[in-house]
């Protein structure tokens, strides 16, 4: 049986139980397993009527929602290849992706999205809106036979160098990873017999987000979908989830918000909180002082439970975090509050996941051991390479890129890492992000950027530059003054050897965003493009050295 058969069997088993909940404009729309199967059948009837053949590509261009899920499953069940597209991405980038994969049909959530696409690409292939797709009458589901090697999706990677590549994933990749994630969630839920409650806000177009969706359907969980990012906190508390998937940016915003609110409140509560935080840090460093237990005991009794309740409710078993490195200070902050943060590591090419923390044993700053069936080791330049049934078969229509990434049965991730004796991994940075100074020193910028950013609450990003130069410089975006930037760099520099110290900086009010083309669809810096766009400002930092 394929993973789709397993999901459909689970939906049948949960025919009268809500499995999806869409939260929109303060109201919740729930659908049962039977309701979702009906929507899938309607979509399959529509697709069959249009004469699409097995292997045809079908673009899925919409925001998260119940109908997105039904359309996604219907496309795969009919033997077609789904190409999910990010609704916030620039239409020009989306058009380039679709020209690359040549979809036979574009399925669009609403006319606003479609109009923007057609303005950029008037010659686009046939399009259809969801309203038309789901207007069809229900028809019996046909066969959903998929072999392990059948491609089911093409997910376009972030393209940090400016050009996205289509990652092909097959039924075998998906099936194996669903088993692995399901096993880890069983450990997290401790054999609970009730339905998992899962909150979800990340776009399904991202591989990790999509895998959690499929896993939730397989488990018969109730997956609650936030549709308004401005209401994440409100919706999260209303759902009272057991767990949910996060990106580091949200967790870091949550941490800063708590610090700021308590600082503004002042008084006795703020005093206990500040002392308890300092005590917690000393405890983690093995440098506890005499009164530290007292302050932590007071905070655990009077303050931390209130923060947990206001932030995410009482029922949360864990936060799950992936997609980018999480600052260890942020992970330790949530651990201090009694909220486990489980990290995962993976790429689209590895079906989203290579490692995932074991809920019974995890370590701050590390991303856990490989999931079952996956092998990982270090190659030249401390690069992480991976092999196993989760590894993609190749990039769409890019044999040279595929051959470069897949060598001797191993996928070369491009990430630098380290592993301890127990097999627990830590991610250091991206190899192609390495800055090579004129002195020959190789520097991973991410750890330094992270530490400077921690010192600058008003900053959006810190980006190091310096390839071929005599020293490192930083581009700092957001609401930051020169004095604050200088103070932050002064605080961080002594933690590093001389060649890793930042000697100049440039301030830029406008942050790097998806809309201005300097962030990828999942929020990663397009370092090459940033370097080209700010070339003059970067050169200026090396003409006039700022004393640091």
pLDDT score, position 548: 44
pLDDT at 195: 95
Q: Assess whether 372 and 519 both reside in one domain.
A: no
Please give the angle made by the CA atoms of 376, 378 and 382, to the nearest 5 degrees.
Answer: 140
Rounded distance between C-alpha atoms, residue 467 and residue 528, angstroms: 11
Residues 129 and 18 in one domain: yes
Residues 374 and 448 grouped into a single domain: no
CATH number of the domain at 409, please.
3.40.50.12780
pLDDT interval class at 413 (50, 70, 90) = very high
State how beta strands 27-32 and 18-24 pair: antiparallel
Q: Do the bridges between strand 410-419 and strand 425-430 make them parallel or antiparallel, or are there none, so unpaired? A: antiparallel
Q: Where are the alpha helices (DSSP H) in 409-546?
A: 445-454, 482-492, 527-533, 535-543
340-355 per-position pLDDT tens digit: 999 999 999 999 999 9
Worst-scoring range by mean pLDDT, 141-150, 303-312, 366-375?
Answer: 141-150
The two structure tokens encoding residue 101: 């994969």
Could you give the residue ranges of the DSSP H alpha helices within 80-149? 91-101, 111-120, 130-133
Per-residue model confidence (pLDDT) at position 494: 92
72-130: pLDDT as tens digits: 999 999 999 999 999 988 888 899 999 999 999 999 999 999 999 999 999 999 999 99
Mean pLDDT of 407-424: 94
Range of the domain at 122: 3-192+199-228
Q: Do 19 and 69 belong to one domain?
A: yes
Most confident of 68-72, 361-365, 464-468: 68-72
Provide the token pair at 432: 């192609």
- In this prediction, residue 139 carries a pLDDT of 62
Any domain includes 176: yes
pLDDT in the model for residue 142: 64
Beta-carbon count within 10 A of 405 CB: 21
Q: Decide if pLDDT at 140 tops 50.
A: yes
CA distance 101 to 122: 17
Q: Are 64 and 203 in contact (CB under 8 A)?
A: yes
pLDDT tens string 247-289: 887 888 888 888 888 888 888 889 999 999 989 988 888 888 8
Q: CB under 8 Å to 483, separation ≥6 — which residues? A: none
Q: Does 28 share its domain with 133?
A: yes
- 6, with CB counted inside 10 A (0-12, 13-18, 19+), is middle
Give me the number of domains the chain comprises.
3
- 3-state SS, residue 389: coil
| Domain-embedded: residue 33 | yes
In this predicted structure, the answer to whether residue 138 has a pLDDT above a threshold of 90 is no
The answer to whether residue 138 is domain-embedded is yes
> Measured over all CA atoms, what is the biggest interatomic distance in the chain, rounded to whole angstroms?
75
**Is 13 a domain residue?**
yes
Question: Half-sphere exposure (CA, 13 Å, Cβ side) for 56?
Answer: 19
222-226 and 197-200 beta bridge pairing: parallel
Whether the pLDDT of residue 222 is over 80: the answer is yes
Q: What is the pLDDT of residue 213?
A: 98
Does residue 103 form part of some domain?
yes
Domain co-membership, 513 together with 475 = yes
- Lowest-pLDDT range, 243-247, 385-389, 438-442, 522-526? 438-442
CA gap 253, 259 in Å, rounded: 10
Give yes or no: residues 353 and 474 share one domain: no
Residue 316, phi then psi, degrees to nearest 5: -60, 130
Asked if residue 481 and residue 459 are part of one domain, the reply reads yes
CB 63 within 8 A of CB 89: no
C-beta contacts of 225-231 below 8 A and 24+ residues apart: 225/20, 225/21, 225/22, 225/23, 225/64, 225/65, 225/66, 225/200, 225/201, 226/23, 226/199, 226/200, 226/201, 227/22, 227/23, 227/24, 227/63, 227/64, 227/65, 228/23, 228/24, 228/25, 229/201, 231/23
Asked if residue 213 lies in contact with residue 70, where contact means CB atoms within 8 angstroms, the answer is no
Q: Choose the final residue of a domain: 429, 457, 485.
A: 429
Query: Per residue in 327-337, pLDDT tens?
Result: 888 899 999 99
CB neighbours of residue 463 within 10 Å: 22
Distance of alpha carbon 340 from alpha carbon 322, whole angstroms: 14
Same domain, 350 and 404: yes
pLDDT band at 546 (very low <50, low <70, confident <90, very high): very low
177 HSE (CA, 13 A, CB side): 33
| Of 38, 1, 12, residue with least CA distance to 217 | 12
Q: What share of the chain is helix, strand, coil (3-state, %, to 5)?
A: 40, 25, 35
How far apart, in whole angstroms, are the C-alpha atoms of residue 112 and residue 130? 12
Task: Choose among 285, 274, 262, 264: nearest CA to 332.
Answer: 285
Domain membership of residue 295 (yes or no) is: no
In degrees rounded to 5, what are phi and psi of residue 24? -140, 125
Residue 169's pLDDT is: 98
Give yes or no for residue 160 having a pLDDT over 60.
Answer: no
Q: Domain holding 472: CATH number?
A: 3.30.300.30
Residue 101 and residue 214 in one domain: yes
Lowest model confidence (mean pLDDT) among 333-337, 370-374, 415-419, 513-517: 513-517
Average pLDDT score, the chain:
91
Over residues 185-199, mean pLDDT:
91
In a domain, 301, yes or no: no
Residue 284 in domain? no
Cα(298)–Cα(281) distance, rounded to whole angstroms? 16
What's the confidence (pLDDT) of residue 487? Answer: 95
d(CA 306, CA 524): 34
Residues 69 and 136 in one domain: yes
Is the same domain home to 254 and 375? yes
Report residue 222 as tokens. Answer: 């109730």
Residues in the chain: 548
Q: Which residues pair with 137 in a beta bridge?
A: none
Q: Is the pLDDT of residue 161 over 60?
A: no
User: Does residue 232 contact residue 250 with C-beta atoms inside 8 Å?
Assistant: yes
Question: Token pair for residue 487?
Answer: 């103070």
| Listed residues 429, 464, 496: the one ending a domain | 429
Domain boundary among 407, 429, 451: 429
Phi, psi of 478 (to 5 degrees): 110, -165
Q: In sequence order, which residues have a C-beta less than 8 Å from that of residue 184 and are 6 or more positions away?
A: 356, 358, 359, 371
**Does residue 193 surpass a pLDDT of 90?**
no
Contacts of range 509-512, beta carbons closer than 8 Å, 24 or more positions apart: 509/477, 509/478, 509/479, 510/477, 511/460, 511/461, 511/477, 511/478, 512/460, 512/461, 512/463, 512/477
């Amino acid at each position: 049986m394929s993973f789709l058969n397993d999901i459909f069997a689970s939906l049948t088993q949960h025919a009268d139980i809500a499995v999806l909940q869409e939260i929109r404009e303060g109201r919740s729309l729930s659908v049962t397993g039977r309701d979702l199967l009906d929507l899938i059948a309607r979509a399959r009837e529509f697709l069959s009527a249009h004469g699409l053949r097995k292997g045809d590509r079908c673009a899925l261009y919409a925001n998260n929602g119940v109908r997105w899920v039904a359309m996604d499953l219907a496309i795969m069940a009919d033997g077609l290849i789904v190409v999910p597209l990010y609704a916030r991405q620039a239409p020009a980038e989306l058009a380039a992706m679709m020209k690359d994969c040549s979809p036979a049909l574009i399925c669009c959530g609403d006319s606003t999205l479609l109009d923007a696409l057609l303005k950029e690409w008037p010659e686009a292939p046939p399009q259809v809106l969801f309203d038309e797709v789901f207007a069809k009458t229900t028809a019996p589901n046909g066969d959903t036979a998929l072999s392990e090697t059948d491609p089911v999706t093409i997910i376009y990677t972030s393209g940090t160098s400016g050009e996205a590549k289509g990652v092909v994933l097959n039924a075998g990749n998906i099936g194996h990873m669903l088993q692995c994630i399901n096993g880890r969630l069983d450990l997290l839920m401790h054999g609970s017999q009730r339905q998992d409650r899962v909150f979800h806000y990340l776009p399904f177009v991202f591989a990790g987000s999509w895998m959690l969706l499929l896993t939730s359907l397989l488990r018969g969980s109730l997956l609650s979908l936030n549709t308004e990012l401005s209401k994440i906190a409100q919706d999260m508390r209303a759902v009272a989830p057991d767990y949910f998937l996060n990106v580091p940016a949200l967790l870091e915003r949550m941490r800063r918000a708590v610090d700021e609110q308590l600082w503004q409140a002042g008084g006795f509560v703020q005093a206990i909180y500040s002392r308890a935080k300092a005590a917690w840090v000393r405890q983690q460093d093995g440098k506890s002082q005499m009164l530290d237990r007292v302050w932590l005991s007071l905070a655990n009794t009077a303050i931390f439970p209130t923060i947990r309740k206001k932030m995410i409710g009482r029922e949360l078993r864990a936060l799950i975090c992936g997609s980018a490195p999480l600052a260890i200070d942020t992970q330790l902050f949530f651990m201090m509050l009694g909220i486990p943060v489980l990290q995962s590591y993976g790429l689209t090419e590895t079906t989203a996941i290579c490692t995932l923390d074991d809920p019974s044993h995890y370590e701050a700053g590390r991303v856990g051991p490989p999931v079952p069936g996956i092998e990982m080791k270090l190659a030249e330049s401390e690069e992480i390479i991976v092999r196993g049934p989760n590894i993609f078969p190749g990039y769409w229509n890019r044999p040279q890129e595929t051959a470069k990434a897949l060598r001797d049965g191993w996928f070369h991730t491009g990430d630098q890492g380290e592993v301890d004796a127990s097999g627990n991994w830590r991610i250091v940075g991206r190899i192609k992000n390495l800055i090579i100074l004129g002195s020959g020193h190789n520097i991973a910028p991410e750890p330094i950027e992270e530490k400077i950013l921690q010192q600058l609450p008003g900053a959006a990003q810190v980006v190091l530059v310096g390839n071929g130069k005599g020293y490192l410089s930083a581009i700092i975006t957001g609401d930051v003054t020169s004095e604050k930037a200088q103070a932050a760099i002064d605080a961080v520099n002594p933690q590093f050897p001389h060649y890793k110290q930042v000697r100049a900086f440039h301030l830029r009010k406008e942050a790097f965003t998806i809309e201005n083309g300097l962030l990828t669809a999942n929020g990663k810096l397009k370092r090459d493009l940033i370097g080209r766009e700010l070339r003059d400002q970067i050169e200026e930092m090396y003409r006039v050295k700022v004393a640091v």
